Amino acid sequence: MGCRAPRQGVLEYEDGQTITLDVGDYVNIPAHVKHRVKSTVSGATTIWLAIFY
């Protein structure tokens, strides 16, 4: 068993609430809710997939 570096991203909503996401996690953000990517792990490639429905 090897040691794997964390691969996390942090989303922040306009009200200051944050959500930490790891590999394979997802979040459903309702329409018109303001948010941003606050941080990702330095030195790692991060891919965000947005699906609008």
Global pTM? 0.75
Distance CA 29, CA 13 (A): 10
Distance CA 52, CA 40 (A): 22
Dihedral (Cα; 34, 39, 41, 46), 10-degree rounding: 30
> Averaged in consecutive runs of 10 residues, what is the pLDDT profile of the chain (53 residues)?
67 96 92 95 87 88
First to last CA, the chain: 40
Cβ pair 36, 12 in contact under 8 A:
yes
Cβ pair 32, 6 in contact under 8 A:
no
